[in-house]
Structure 1
Amino acid sequence: MYKKNPQGLMRLFKATSYSYKGICAAFKHEAAFREEALLAVVALPLAFWLDVTQVERMLMISSVLLIVLVELLNSALEAVVDRVGSEHHELSGRAKDMGSAAVFIAMIIAGYIWLEALFI
């Protein structure tokens, strides 16, 4: 029998549950994600507490969430590369290095935004 894809609220519920599973998996298996989640737990309330403009606050919050977002994508990329094979391959190493570089750039963006908002 043909099984129809979920629609409406059921589709939203399933998508949300998949997202939750992804966050739980990242938290369980990725030390870098746990560290960046801790950063977010500290930085997000701090952004609301600091005396900054609304635009600065939005940028500060967005930049921290950007780090978490890019780390999730990097972790997903690393999981796929590891799934393909454990032997060393130049392209696998390059993919992992590029994912790490993306996280690093997100951190530079966040650092710049926070420094500008707080000190300049």
Structure 2
Amino acid sequence: MDVRKLFRSFRYAWRGIVHAFGREQNFRFHVLAALIVTAAGWVTGLSTSEWLIVILLFGGVFALELVNTAIERVVDLVSREHHPLAGQAKDVAAGAVLAFAVASAVIGCIIFIPKWMNLLF
């Protein structure tokens, strides 16, 4: 195993994350949402299993957002001019992020709302 190659691959991956954070508004929005949910989870007192679910959802949204960004970049590289298939590829990738984000929000509501209801009533 080439340890230098391994560390280089981590450096490239980190560079991709930094790129997405610096240039992608939706990625920054998801990071902000994750920070808010983390604070809410800390205040609410989530169980270990609930934290595992929340962290898995964060990772899924972040990963899909990164894949979406990669698809957008490749499509832009291949075709600078507007093409219906290029637009569809971008739209479908964005739709995947949206679908997972909505599912994550629903799961978040299932975790948080009963706890908040118990605090209020």
Partner of 1:58: 52
Paired letter, 2:57: S
Residues 34-81 of structure 1: per-residue CA shift (max 9 Å, x gap) = 211222233234334432322222111211221111100001000100
Alignment match, 1:69 = 63
> Structure 1 residues 58 and 78 mapped into 2: Cα distance closer, same or farther (>3 Å)?
same
Runs of 4+ in 1 over 6 A off after TM superposition: none
For residue 109 of structure 1, report the CA deviation from its aligned partner. 1.6
Task: State the TM-score, normalized to the length of structure 2.
Answer: 0.83
Q: Give the counterpart letter for 1:40 in structure 2.
A: A
Q: CA RMSD in A?
A: 1.6
1:36 to 7, 30, 38: 30
Q: 5+ unaligned residues in a row in structure 2: which ranges?
A: 115-121
Please list the CA deviations of residues 87-114 of structure 1 after superposition, one character each: whole Å capped at 9, or x if unmatched: 1111101101101110111111211111
- Counterpart position of 1:27: 21
2:17 counterpart of 1:11: no
Structure 1: 5+ residue runs without aligned partners? 1-6
Corresponding residue pairs, total: 114
Which segment drifts farther, 21-30 or 35-44?
Answer: 35-44
- Percent identity between the two aligned chains: 30
1:33 CA drift (Å): 1.2
